[in-house]
Amino acid sequence: MATLKDIEVAAAINILTAFAFFVAFAILRLQPINDRVYFPKWYLKGLRSSPLNSGAFVGRVGFCCLLEDLLSRCRLKIFVPITFLAFAIMVPVNWTNVTLEHSNLTYSDIDKLSISNIPIGSHRFWTHLVMAYVFTFWTCYVLKKEYEIVASMRLHFLASEHRRPDQFTVIVRNVPPDPDESVDELVEHFFLVNHPEHYLTYQVVYNANRLSNLVKEKKKLQNWLDFYQLKYSRNQSMRPSSKTGFLGLCGERVDAIDFYTSKIENLSEEIASEREKIISSPKSIMPAAFVSFKTRWGAAVCAQTQQSRNPTIWLTEWAPEPRDVYWDNLANPYVSLTIRKLIVAVAFFFLTFFFMIPIAFVQSLANIEGIEKAVPFLKPIIETKVIKSFIQGFLPGIALKIFLIFLPAILMLMSKFEGFISISALERISATRYYIFQFINVFLGSIITGTAFQQLDNFIHQSANDIPKTIGVSIPMKATFFITYIMVDGWAGVAGEILRLKPLIIYHLKNFLLVKTEKDREEAMDPGTLGFNTGEPQIQLYFLLGLVYAVVTPILLPFIIVFFGLAYVVYRHQIINVYNQEYESAAAFWPDVHGRIIVALVVSQLLLMGLLSTKEAAQSTPLLLALPVLTIWFHIFCKGRYEPAFVRYPLQEAMMKDTLERAREPNLNMKGFLQNAYMHPVFKEGDDSESDVASGDGNQEPELVPTKRQSRRNTPLPSKHSGSVSSLPEVQEHAQLL
């Protein structure tokens, strides 16, 4: 078990590491050759063209980036007063006891500051109960204020945001098959009948995954060709060569430039053939389409209503903005998504619970006695003061961090397989799973396995009735492990974020090997993103730890505050100077953030309730039952009062913005603005003729042709596939058929 000395050693190591990162950053950022690594956003915004031209950055920060700034301040607002009260009231109450000294438990001086040092049945537990109420009410008060602020800012942002394609577009999925009409004909006829005043145009969804893979392969080959051409331009005395086998390590040796030129030419022909095949084959069209409307009001009505009496077909939802679309998943048939969800749920279950094995191993590292029993010949080395402090104060945290390093990538692969159609949705579900995983493994797993390792001797030699009491005393003592984890992952980890060591190395390798033009240099930049799927769940884990241990072991709180302070400074700098925002969510993730904080509150209350029950505090424990009830009621209130602003677009706001836009731009060509907004990127790389064929509507009005339906009814408005106007009874009958 980590002692105060061990914590001091761990703190010293992590403080020195963080300081070294900041010093290295301060030096490297001043070097002109690193300018595109530490200020890439300035170049992307066009506010900087060289290290010598460094005007002030005045670009607008996206709202989803601004949200991270708000979250950091919200956390500080919650924890600074809580820490002050905890140290002023809780620490003296816990410290002025001798319970642990008269017990046979393994403990350290830090544990004397925890609730474990309060004797069984003591009246001092009333202090913990009162402070639990105070901390809960303060947290809920801050959360309500922040929810109100974020909801208001979101609506204001949406009202003031410039015109975007996703404001006018919905994605319709599970288009029912029809023997007489193709998908694109069916989509247009359906929306002309059911949304005659507002429907504008559509873009069918193609299964272009193979074409996309070919384009990516061509880009890789082109990079190799550029590399060998650059190599030859520097030394023309000898043509570069390479082997034709795997990664150029085996096979016949050939002229590298001729080899890659030939491969690119063949691949270009294959790409052209595949593009033509997709455009000309009806089988390449998926039963889905992006449908655009003349007004935001029309799109809001369509996105937020049921389109058919059969709720399983003609499913509509807001389309993600074009840069947020994850094109690979658009080709997945809608009917297969349920099966994919089941497979991912089962895989996530096994991943989560089988990970308990390495977690148990990590916890064994925190127990010197366990290591000495496993490898007794190392006992003289382990018992050395410095080594012992390092093992117990630093090693468990870094070992757990290493085990978790590949987890975000695995969870993202699961989300992609599940079939979500936007990057924001992929990050959102990955963040949820990451939080669940950490809650079960890092939090509960560390507590359960750590307690078992530390108090193993007591478990063996005591009756079964006394085991819950031992666990109740031991859980608060796991705070020392979480303190080391916060320092390793939080302090040093956040400081390492500002150094950007990996992007720095990759940029200079690319700059040395591949960069020939200014465009190449821009492509070598890697600004990165905020990473909601990894950063937010990790920070929420610290939030959980802070709320759980605020009453139980308050010594953990200052380490949390230092982390939040560092995170605020570092991420604010990165948002302004580095990160490139891939999409704009307009704070759509906030309800998830709020929900996870509520979960942390309820868990902290239930844990305190369990601890007090093991302490025979029968009088105070029942009063805690009201806290989870009040907290859940507060969540329901916020969900009903504020969450609609995050999941629906008010028709009043849509109408106001449409009216203002018509007044300001009466001659706006909305069709031209929306027509190719949702065209698959691989078609945009073709020539104009191919792009026109791939589009759902041409620039010119098409010929008027009757519908192919056996009912011989025509749609009520001119369209690409049906131009005649029906009488009202015919329209009604056609609508019933659809």
DSSP 347-362: HHHHHHHHTHHHHHHH
With a CB cutoff of 8 Å and minimum separation 6, the contacts of 654 are 295, 296, 297, 299, 300
In the numeric block, the tokens 């630093």 are attached to 394
SS3 154: helix
* Contacts within 8 Å (CB) and 24+ apart, 619-626: 620/125, 620/126, 620/128, 620/129, 623/129, 624/129, 624/132
Q: How far apart are CA 574 and CA 65, in angstroms?
A: 10
The strand pair at 199-206 and 241-243 is best described as: unpaired
Q: How far apart are CA 581 and CA 528, in angstroms?
A: 8
pLDDT at 99: 67
pLDDT at 718: 53
SS3 173: strand
**Token couple for 199:** 């429907």
pLDDT at 368: 61
SS3 291: strand
Pick from 457, 472, 587, 634: nearest CA to 65: 587
pLDDT at 694: 40
Q: Is there a contact between 472 and 611 (Cβ–Cβ < 8 Å)?
A: yes
**Token couple for 704:** 């008027």
Residues in the chain: 738
The C-alpha torsion from 95 through 101 and 103 to 105, rounded to 10°, is 80
pLDDT at 190: 92
Burial group, residue 137, by CB count within 10 angstroms (0-12, 13-18, 19+): middle
Taking each helix axis from N to C end, the angle separating 423-437 and 590-614, rounded to the nearest 10 degrees, works out to 10
Q: How far apart are CA 168 and CA 382, in angstroms?
A: 66
Residue numbers of the chain with a pLDDT score lower than 50: 57-59, 456, 459, 687-706, 711-714, 722-738
Residue type, 266: N
Pick from 391, 580, 555: nearest CA to 480: 555
For 425-478, list the strands marked E by DSSP: none
In the chain the first and final C-alpha atoms are separated, in Å, by 70
Q: Which DSSP category does 700 fall into?
A: S
In the numeric block, the tokens 């959102």 are attached to 428
In SS3 terms, 292-345 reads as EECCHHHHHHHHCCCCCCCCCCCEEEECCCHHHECHHHHHCCHHHHHHHHHHHH
With a CB cutoff of 8 Å and minimum separation 6, the contacts of 405 are none
Q: How far is CA 494 from the centre of its chain?
A: 17
SS3 476: helix
In SS3 terms, 105-133 reads as CCCCHHHHHCHHHCCCCCCCHHHHHHHHH
Buried b (16+ CB within 10 A) or exposed e, 634-661: bbeebeeebbebbeebeeebbeebbeee
Q: Which DSSP category does 438 fall into?
A: I
pLDDT at 133: 93
Query: Distances from the Cα of 168 to the Cαs of 194, 200, 524, in angstroms?
Result: 16, 9, 35
Q: How far apart are CA 363 and CA 480, in angstroms?
A: 12
pLDDT at 185: 87
Residue type, 654: A
